[in-house]
């Protein structure tokens, strides 16, 4: 069972998501919250696999909550919830450690599948969305320079892995492309995330784009 916590300050949104997701036999909604402070408490209390996190909430907002949650031991995958995929908060959420984002208008059948993807540790972010996010930050010269500096100490193999993450590839796809076992890829990715100080694959993939390594 996938343990899920939903965070949104709108009761109707919470009710809708609960109705949709409880219809899946493998998703257990173990808790919900209506602001960022409650979300952080729920993450520690319920130890979910996935959290769906609204970004714009009164009090402690979703961005602050994400930053706090990803620093917890064995943190859940946090997926940002947004009304529009051009929301400037989305890019900030990815930088804060979110593993992707979902539109609140996502069709029910897709929503269930994407929660499963997040639970498996994969990025919940299309290539098109990733490109839009990077375009939004294209003018930030200082951040691009910082990204290049952070990746400068990577080995050639680690750079290959980072480019693959920037393209949104799974471990299986990376293994096939680089002619390695999935176990080897998993080990490389884990060490690389630690080396880069990235919370997850999505953050590393965004870094690859910012450093100009992935198109």
Q: How do residues 186-214 score in pLDDT, each as one tens digit?
A: 999 999 999 998 888 888 888 888 888 87
Cite the DSSP H helix spans in 97-166: 108-119, 127-136, 141-151, 156-166
Crossing angle, helix 127-136 and helix 88-96, to 10 degrees? 100
pLDDT tens, 126-168? 555 666 666 665 555 567 788 888 999 999 999 999 999 888 7
Banded model confidence at residue 215, pLDDT cuts 50, 70, 90:
low
Say if CB 53 and CB 79 are below 8 A apart. yes
Say if CB 66 and CB 94 are below 8 A apart. no
pLDDT at 135: 62
DSSP state of 124: B
pLDDT at 90: 79
pLDDT at 128: 56
pLDDT average, residue stretch 72-77: 92
CA dist list (Å): 155 to 27, 143, 158: 39, 21, 5
CA dist list (Å): 152 to 128, 155, 162, 195: 27, 8, 12, 11
Q: Do domains 2-134 and 140-211 have the same CATH topology?
A: no
Provide the residue ranges of all domains of the chain, joining segments of one domain with +: 2-134, 140-211
What are the phi and psi torsion angles at 104 (to 5°)?
-65, -20
pTM of the model: 0.75
Fold adopted by 2-134: Rossmann fold (3.40.50)
Say if CB 53 and CB 81 are below 8 A apart. yes
Give percent above pLDDT 70 in the chain: 89
pLDDT average, residue stretch 107-136: 76
**Low-confidence winner among 15-24, 42-51, 76-85, 131-140 (lowest mean pLDDT):** 131-140
CA dist., res. 139 & res. 125, Å (int): 22
CA dist., res. 26 & res. 117, Å (int): 13
Top CATH class of 140-211 equals: mainly alpha
pLDDT average, residue stretch 77-97: 81
- CA 96-175-52 angle, 5° bins: 30
Dihedral angle computed from the Cα positions of residues 108, 110, 116 and 118, in that order, rounded to the nearest 10 degrees:
-110
pLDDT average, residue stretch 62-88: 87
Checking if the pLDDT of 114 tops 60, the result is: yes
pLDDT average, residue stretch 178-187: 92
């Amino acid at each position: 069972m996938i343990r899920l916590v939903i965070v949104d300050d709108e009761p109707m949104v919470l009710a809708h998501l609960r109705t949709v997701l409880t219809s899946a036999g493998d998703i257990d909604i173990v808790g919900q919250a209506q602001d960022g402070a409650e979300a952080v408490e729920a993450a520690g209390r319920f130890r979910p696999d996935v959290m769906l996190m609204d970004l714009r909430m009164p009090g402690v907002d979703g961005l602050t909550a994400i930053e706090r949650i990803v620093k917890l031991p064995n943190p859940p995958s946090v997926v940002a919830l947004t009304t529009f995929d051009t929301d400037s908060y989305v890019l900030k959420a990815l930088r804060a450690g979110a593993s992707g984002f979902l539109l609140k208008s996502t069709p029910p059948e897709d929503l269930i599948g994407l929660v499963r993807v997040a639970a498996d540790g994969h990025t919940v972010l299309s290539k098109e969305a990733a490109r839009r996010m990077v375009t939004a930050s294209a003018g930030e010269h200082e951040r691009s320079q910082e990204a290049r500096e952070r990746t400068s100490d990577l080995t050639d193999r680690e750079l290959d892995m980072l480019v693959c993450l920037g393209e949104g590839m799974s471990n299986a796809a990376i293994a096939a492309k680089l002619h390695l076992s999935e176990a080897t890829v998993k080990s490389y990715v884990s060490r690389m995330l630690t080396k880069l100080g990235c919370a997850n694959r999505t953050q590393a993939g965004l870094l690859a784009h910012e450093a100009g390594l992935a198109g």
